[in-house]
């Protein structure tokens, strides 16, 4: 699409600004080679006239390249954290895009600059990690809406490094008039709700408008500090450069970005992250382009000035790396690097298939039970327990019998063409999910077996899940599953609450989800069934039922869902990030009754999959409807 910024068509190009923009990579490193390949395949369109003195070329990263930086668990490089490896990949990505621009320019001297705007997940490990990255990486980092008076660590970093700035202005030489330069200013704003996303983790910096509000609750009034900071920078720039262009990198989502543009109409273009959408909108003459997520897309924008200094055209083209021809991808330098760097982590780890039955004792994702081995030996003619015990005393024979019993079990219970994948997608935030059913049941099982046999239900916020599971999944896939929450906030706590309290917090979560399904995400529960539609009807005044009537719990004897007993106590486990929240009612009511178990969701899930020999089975329980 082409957006006309001002009327008039130049007879020749006088100056140009080319921008490649991506957002919300979320540490999905293995998809980077295809993204880079797409850039290379389309380089002349993304960076036209890249080598001309009147052309500036930029790569803009609009937040959340990083996610959960302090997390560890790699097999090939166990000494490194998520953040270490994600940062290495960012530096290599910048270098490779620079080389691509160089190949288009075909000249030794050309202009290329990387720009970075932090996102909320970049601060999952606190501000210390991020500030260190911004100081040292080869990019200009934009921190327009940071409250400098309350950010001593960032302020000190800005004094030590020229890489971190509130805004950046670049001069674009005119191609014919030596005395004429065109100006472009870049700004960068992050969602200010850090006490909501990373409660208690920021020690040395704070954002303007810092608050615990959900995205859907942010208003013009609650963003007035950010709006003023952007407006002050833009007006000062426009006073000196009335024809200059203004580009905003915004990791705030579409609606807050629109609020800013409504109040600062001099912005020409917004690259928008955080909302994970592929949306283009306009506020007045300002074009806002959201950039999707997980390297599923990126956008390229070119700005053109004429010889009068006027910005006459802004053109935008979206690109979708999944459509890139794979030929030669296996030889791409980034692909080769990642394959070698993650050699052990890329080996198949998980076996996943579907089972016919749902016997809790035999088919409970624990294939190698004593009952299973005894059953196999009996079928093989070794009937008496004493004989079975004697055979199993020999380790090598025991291993052979276990393998044979497991194979027999799989062959007799596997669905011939059953599910081999538990899919992750945005829909887990607002609807029933086999993946979430499996994860809640798996975490509950390992807690029951190793920590507390009385646990009734486990709750998992869908926003902390970042990947699904499938047959032949590797360690990188497993590490991504519980990757959407800081390690500092991901430990579980256990406590007892009454049925009326459980119904209350579930209802509060559903009502918030109805208001903003993709941002106020569902909590999924083991052994609890929620009638989402009934709660929606009650809220709309279309039903005479009570909210608690929409909550049913599993009877441990019959395995069927029954109405929740409002007076009964239920022992539940949930992550610390939920319990520390102050923006919603129920965490504050119950948090004092919960004790930590010093295990994260990720650690518990790894305990689970290792305990079942990395052989996972989808049962009818996995496929039940827990949200109706």
Q: Collect the ranges in the chain with pLDDT lower than 70.
A: 1-13, 324-326, 357-368, 410-414, 416-417
- In this structure, what token pair is assigned to residue 41? 């395949």
Q: At 115, which helix (H) or strand (E)?
A: strand 112-117
CB atoms within 10 A of CB 395: 8
CB atoms within 10 A of CB 529: 20
d(CA 268, CA 182): 14
Dihedral pair phi/psi, residue 80, rounded to 5°: -105, 150
CATH T-level topology, domain 421-618 = 5'-nucleotidase;  domain 2 (3.90.780)
Q: Collapse the DSSP code of 270 into the 3-class scheme (helix H, G, I; strand E, B; otherwise coil) and give the result.
A: strand
- In this structure, what token pair is assigned to residue 107? 């000249």
DSSP-assigned letter for residue 147: -
d(CA 513, CA 530): 13
Q: Which CATH architecture has domain 2-341?
A: 4-Layer Sandwich (3.60)
Q: Is the pTM of this model over 0.85?
A: no
246: β partners: 185
Counting every residue written for the chain, the total comes to 628
Helix 127-136 to helix 152-160 angle (10° resolution) is 10
Q: At 3, which helix (H) or strand (E)?
A: strand 2-3
The answer to whether 442 and 365 have CB atoms below 8 angstroms apart is yes
d(CA 179, CA 189): 33
Sign for the pseudo-dihedral over CA of 127, 131, 137, 138: positive
User: Which residues 6+ apart lie within 8 Å of 607 measured at CB?
Assistant: 446, 450, 599
492: β partners: 575
d(CA 251, CA 192): 10
d(CA 64, CA 204): 19
d(CA 596, CA 494): 6
The CA-atom distances, in angstroms, between 340 and each of 315, 344, 571, 572 are 39, 9, 46, 43
The pLDDT value given to residue 410: 67
DSSP string over 510-548 = HHHHHHSTTTSPPEEETTEEE-HHHHHHHHTT---S-GG
Q: Where are the beta strands (DSSP E) in 394-485?
A: 421-422, 457-461, 469-470
The answer to whether 502 and 589 have CB atoms below 8 angstroms apart is no
Domain spans, the chain: 2-341, 357-413, 421-618
Q: Which residue has the tokens 């036209």?
A: 48
CB atoms within 10 A of CB 599: 20
Q: Which residue has the tokens 């921008």?
A: 19
C-alpha neighbours within 13 Å on the C-beta side of residue 204: 15
573: β partners: 458, 494
């Amino acid at each position: 699409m082409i957006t006309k910024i001002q009327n008039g068509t130049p007879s020749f190009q006088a100056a140009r600004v080319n921008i490649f923009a991506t957002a919300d990579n979320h540490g999905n490193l293995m998809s980077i080679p295809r993204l880079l390949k797409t850039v290379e395949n389309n380089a002349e369109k993304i960076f036209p006239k890249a080598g001309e003195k009147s052309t500036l070329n930029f790569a803009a990263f609009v937040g959340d390249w990083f996610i959960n930086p302090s997390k560890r668990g790699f097999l090939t490089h166990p000494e490194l954290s998520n953040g270490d490896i994600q940062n290495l990949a960012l530096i290599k990505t910048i270098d490779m895009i620079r080389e691509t621009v160089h190949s288009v320019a075909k000249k030794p001297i050309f202009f290329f600059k990387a720009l970075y705007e932090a996102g909320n997940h970049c601060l999952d490990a606190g501000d210390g990690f991020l500030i260190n990255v911004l100081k040292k990486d080869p990019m200009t980092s934009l921190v327009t809406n940071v409250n400098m008076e309350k950010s001593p660590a960032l302020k000190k970093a800005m004094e030590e490094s020229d890489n971190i700035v509130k805004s950046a202005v670049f001069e674009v030489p005119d191609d014919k008039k030596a005395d004429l330069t065109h100006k472009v200013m870049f700004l960068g704003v992050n969602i200010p709700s850090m006490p909501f996303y990373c409660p208690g983790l920021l020690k040395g910096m704070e954002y303007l408008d810092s608050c615990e509000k959900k995205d859907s609750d942010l208003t013009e009034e609650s963003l007035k500090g950010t709006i003023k900071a952007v407006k002050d920078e833009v007006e000062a720039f426009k006073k000196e450069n009335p024809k200059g262009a203004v580009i905003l990198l915004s990791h705030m989502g579409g609606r807050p970005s629109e609020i800013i543009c409504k109040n600062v109409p001099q912005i020409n273009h917004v690259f928008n992250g955080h909302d994970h959408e592929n949306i283009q909108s306009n506020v007045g003459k300002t074009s806002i382009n959201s950039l999707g997520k997980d390297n599923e897309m990126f956008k390229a924008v070119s700005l053109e000035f004429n010889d009068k200094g006027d910005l006459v055209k802004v053109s935008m083209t979206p690109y979708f790396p999944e459509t890139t021809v794979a030929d030669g991808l296996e030889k791409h330098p980034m692909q080769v690097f990642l394959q070698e760097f993650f050699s052990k982590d890329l080996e198949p780890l998980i076996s996943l298939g579907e089972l016919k039955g749902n016997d809790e004792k035999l088919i409970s994702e624990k294939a190698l039970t004593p009952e299973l081995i005894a059953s196999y030996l009996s079928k093989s003619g070794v009937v008496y327990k004493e004989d079975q015990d004697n055979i199993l005393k020999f380790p090598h024979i025991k291993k052979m019998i276990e393998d044979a019993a497991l194979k027999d079990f799989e062959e007799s219970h596997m669905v011939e063409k059953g599910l081999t994948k538990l899919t992750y997608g945005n829909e887990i935030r607002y609807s029933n999910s086999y993946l979430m059913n499996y994860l809640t049941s798996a975490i509950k099982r390992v807690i029951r077996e190793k920590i507390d046999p009385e646990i009734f239900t486990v709750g998992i916020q869908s926003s902390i899940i970042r990947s699904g599971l499938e047959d032949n999944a590797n360690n990188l896939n497993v590490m991504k599953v519980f990757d959407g929450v800081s390690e500092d906030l991901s430990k579980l706590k256990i406590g007892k609450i009454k049925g009326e309290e459980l119904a209350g917090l579930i209802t509060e979560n559903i009502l918030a989800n109805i208001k903003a399904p993709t941002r106020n995400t569902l909590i999924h529960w083991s052994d609890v069934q929620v009638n989402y539609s009934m709660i929606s009807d009650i809220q709309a005044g279309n039903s005479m039922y009570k909210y608690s009537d929409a909550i049913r719990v599993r009877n441990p004897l019959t395995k069927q869902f029954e109405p929740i007993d409002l007076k009964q106590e239920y022992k539940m486990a949930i992550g610390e990030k939920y319990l520390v929240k102050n923006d919603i009612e129920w965490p504050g009511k119950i948090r004092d009754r919960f004790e930590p178990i010093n295990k994260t969701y990720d650690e518990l899930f790894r305990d689970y999959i290792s305990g079942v020999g990395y052989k996972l089975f989808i049962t009818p329980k996995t496929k039940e409807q827990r949200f109706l």
